[in-house]
Amino acid sequence: MSEAVSPDLLPLTAQDGPDGLSVGGVSLVELGRRFGTPLFVYDEEHLRRRCREAVAAFGPGLVAYASKAFLCTAMARLAHEEGLLLDVASGGELRVALNAGVPGDRIVLHGNNKDDGELLAAVRAGVRHVVVDNFDEMDRIERLATVHGLAPVPVVLRVAPGVAAGGHQAIRTGGTDSKFGFGLATGAAAAAVRRARSSGAMALEGVHAHVGSQVLDAGRLADGAATIARFAVESGVAGLTVGGGLGVAYEGGERVPSFAEWATGVRTAVRDAGWTGPFVVEPGRSVTARAGLTLYRVGTIKHIEGVRTYVGVDGGMSDNIRPALYGGRYEAFLPRAPFADRPLRARLVGKHCESGDILVDDAALPADLAVSDLLATPVTGAYGYAMASNYNKLPRPAVVFVRDGGARLVVRRETEDDLLRLDVPGPGERPGAAGVAQVTARRLTTA
Ligand code: LLP
C-alpha cells in the first residue's frame, strides 16, 4: 500500500489547500503550531452531524451517547444540544455531564460495580434511570432507599443475552461468561425482573443488553437486539435498550454499516421478536471516532538496515493505548501533504519506555518525511483521549474543537504542575518543589 490516506478516514469537513489539510476550516499545521503537540483535534460539524444522523435513524429521545468513548464538558454539552441522552458509566462521567448542564432526566447511569456514592449522586441528580447490573446493586439500592428515604428508583436491568460480538475479546460483553449483567441462560435475568417488581425501592422500567464494541457486522447487533427484545416481551417490561457497539473504519477500504443500516437491522429484529414499542441505542465510538484525529511532532527517525525504520513522535501509548491493548490498527499521514503517496514503510512509535509503545505497526508514509514534521493519525476520536494516561509522567494532550474557521480549546494541555498536583508533600516540604523545569511550557511555545 503506497496510496494516499483514504478520505473516508478523515473528518467530514477535511479539505486540502495551500497550507495542507484543514479541518473545520482551520489548517492542521497551524493548529499544531498554535496549541502544541500531541493534540486531539475534533471536527465539531462532524460530531454534530453524526448525532443528527443517529437521531434521524433511531428517533428523537432514543439515542444515548455512550460518553465513555470521549467525554469532556464541551462534548457532553454538544451531545445534549443535539438531542442525545447521555450514558454515563461512573460518578466521574456523571459529574462531567452535570457540569455541562445536562439535566438529570437526560442521563442514564451504567456500571457493573456502582458504589453508594455513585448511586446516591445519580438518584439525587434525578437520572432517567439506573441500569442495574447485579443483585448486590439491588441490595445497595434497597438499603440506600431505606436510609435516605428515597422514592422508588427507576431502574433498567442489564442482561447478558448470551450473544457476544466485537473487535477484540476485551470488548465483547454480551456472552454468558461476562462480568456484566444478569444472565439470560442462567435464569438470573428472570429472577432480577421478579425481584425488581416486588421491591418497593425500585421502579422497573425496562431491560438492556450490549453485546460488544467495534462490531462491523450489523447482523450481530441485530441478533443481540432480537434476544433482549424476546426477553422484554416475555417479561412484559415497558422499555428496551439494545446497547451500542457499531464499529468504525480505522484503515482505508474497511466497510462499516451506517446508522440507517444498523437501525433497519435492529428494527426488523425486534419486531420479529414481537417487540412493538420504541427502543434506545447507545452509540459511542460511531459518533466520535472519525470526527477526531491526533497531531504529533516527529522527533526522530531511525533506519535499521535490513530490519525496518522507526519514526518516533512526541506522544504514544499514553494518548492511544488501543494498539497495545487490542491490536488496534491505525494509519498516518502528513497534514502538509495529506494526499501524497506513502511509499515509506515504518513503525510509528511513541516516546514511552517500552517497545510495545507502538501507534502504527507498519505505517505507510511519504518518502520525504523528516524530523520536525507534523504527523496525524486519523480516527482517534473514540477511546483515545478517554483512555489517556500519565505513563512516564507525560502530561495529557490538549483537545480542540474546530468549526467554521475557528478553533476552541475545550480541554487544556496538562502541565508539569498538574503532574505534581496529587503528590502529598512530606513534613516541611513545599508542594511542587523548587527547581522544576517547565519543559511542557517550553515545548508549547517552541512548537
Ligand atoms: N453501551 C454500553 C453498556 C457499553 O458498555 C458501551 C461500551 C457502549 C454502549 C458503547 O459502545 P460503542 O458504541 O462505543 O462501541 N475501550 C474499547 C471499547 C470499550 C467499550 C466499552 N463499552 C476500545 O477502545 O475499543
Q: Is 256 in the pocket of ligand 1 (CB under 6 A)?
A: no
| Residue 71 Cα to ligand 1 middle (Å) | 13
What separation in angstroms does the CA of 95 have from each of 2, 38, 63, 103, 120? 45, 26, 20, 11, 12
Greater confidence (134 vs 439) lies with 134
What ligand 1 atom has the least distance to the C-alpha of 173? 5
pLDDT above 60 (res 440): no
pLDDT above 60 (res 441): no
Q: Which of 288, 316, 334 is the last residue of a domain?
A: 288
pLDDT above 90 (res 356): yes
Residues 92 and 137 in one domain: yes
The single residue listed with the C-alpha cell 447490573 is: 133
Q: Distance between CA 96 and CA 419 in Å, rounded?
A: 21
End-to-end CA distance of the chain: 31
| Residue 242 Cα to ligand 1 middle (Å) | 12
| Predicted local distance difference test score (pLDDT) of residue 446 | 47
2-26 confidence digits (pLDDT tens): 799 999 999 999 999 999 999 999 9
Residues 270 and 396 in one domain: no
Q: Is 244 in the pocket of ligand 1 (CB under 6 A)?
A: yes
Specify the number of domains making up the chain: 2
Q: Is 245 in the pocket of ligand 1 (CB under 6 A)?
A: yes
| Predicted local distance difference test score (pLDDT) of residue 432 | 66
Q: Distance between CA 309 and CA 262 in Å, rounded?
A: 41
* Peptide bond connecting 38 to the previous residue in cis, omega within 30 degrees of 0: yes
Residues 329 and 361 in one domain: yes
pLDDT above 90 (res 345): yes
Amino acid at 426: G
Q: Which of 288, 306, 328 is the last residue of a domain?
A: 288
| Residue 282 Cα to ligand 1 middle (Å) | 9
| Residue nearest to ligand 1 atom 8, measured at CA | 244
Residues 18 and 104 in one domain: no
Task: Tell me, yes or no, whether 428 lies in a domain.
Answer: no
Task: Tell me, yes or no, whether 12 lies in a domain.
Answer: yes
Task: Tell me, yes or no, whether 152 lies in a domain.
Answer: yes
Averaged pLDDT, 128-142: 98
Query: Could you tell me how many residues make up the chain?
Result: 447
CATH number of residue 21's parent domain: 2.40.37.10
Contact 52, 59 (CB under 8 A): no
Q: Which of 151, 304, 353, 434 is catalytic?
A: 353
Task: Tell me, yes or no, whether 2 lies in a domain.
Answer: no
| Predicted local distance difference test score (pLDDT) of residue 383 | 98
| Residue 246 Cα to ligand 1 middle (Å) | 9
244-302 confidence digits (pLDDT tens): 999 999 999 999 999 999 999 999 999 999 999 999 999 999 999 999 999 999 999 99
pLDDT above 70 (res 94): yes
Greater confidence (379 vs 171) lies with 379
Residues 260 and 294 in one domain: no
| Residue 145 Cα to ligand 1 middle (Å) | 30
Share of the chain above pLDDT 90, in %: 91
Catalytic residue status for 72: no
pLDDT above 50 (res 329): yes
pLDDT band at 165 (very low <50, low <70, confident <90, very high): confident
CATH number of residue 126's parent domain: 3.20.20.10
pLDDT above 70 (res 317): yes
Q: Is 283 in the pocket of ligand 1 (CB under 6 A)?
A: yes
Residues 278 and 149 in one domain: yes
45-76 confidence digits (pLDDT tens): 999 999 999 999 999 999 999 999 999 999 99
152-166, 220-234, 331-345 — which is least confidently predicted? 152-166
Q: Distance between CA 399 and CA 418 in Å, rounded?
A: 16
Give, to the nearest 10 degrees, the angle between helix 135-148 and helix 188-198.
Answer: 10
Q: Which of 253, 288, 323 is the last residue of a domain?
A: 288
| Residue 284 Cα to ligand 1 middle (Å) | 6
What separation in angstroms does the CA of 421 have from each of 29, 73, 433? 32, 21, 11
Residues 28 and 115 in one domain: no
Task: Tell me, yes or no, whether 443 lies in a domain.
Answer: no
| Predicted local distance difference test score (pLDDT) of residue 176 | 82
231-245, 271-285, 315-329, 425-439 — which is least confidently predicted? 425-439
Residues 25 and 58 in one domain: no
pLDDT band at 241 (very low <50, low <70, confident <90, very high): very high
Range(s) of the domain holding residue 240: 44-288
Averaged pLDDT, 70-86: 99
Mutate to test the pocket of ligand 1, among 68, 108, 114 (most ligand atoms within 8 A of CB): 68
Greater confidence (3 vs 440) lies with 3
| Predicted local distance difference test score (pLDDT) of residue 108 | 98
Task: Tell me, yes or no, whether 434 lies in a domain.
Answer: no
Task: Tell me, yes or no, whether 352 lies in a domain.
Answer: yes
What value does the CA radius of gyration of the chain take, rounded to a whole number of Å?
A: 23
Q: Is 140 in the pocket of ligand 1 (CB under 6 A)?
A: no
23-45 confidence digits (pLDDT tens): 999 999 999 999 999 999 999 99
| Predicted local distance difference test score (pLDDT) of residue 1 | 56
Q: Supply the pTM of this predicted model.
A: 0.96
Task: Tell me, yes or no, whether 94 lies in a domain.
Answer: yes
Residues 33 and 178 in one domain: no
Residues 298 and 383 in one domain: yes
Q: Is 224 in the pocket of ligand 1 (CB under 6 A)?
A: no
| Predicted local distance difference test score (pLDDT) of residue 430 | 80
| Predicted local distance difference test score (pLDDT) of residue 172 | 79
pLDDT above 80 (res 447): no
Q: Is 133 in the pocket of ligand 1 (CB under 6 A)?
A: no
| Predicted local distance difference test score (pLDDT) of residue 71 | 99
Contact 298, 37 (CB under 8 A): no
Q: Is 171 in the pocket of ligand 1 (CB under 6 A)?
A: yes
Residues 49 and 163 in one domain: yes
Mean of all residue pLDDT scores within the chain: 95
Residues 280 and 300 in one domain: no
Phi, psi of 134 (to 5 degrees): -160, 170
224-236 confidence digits (pLDDT tens): 999 999 999 999 9
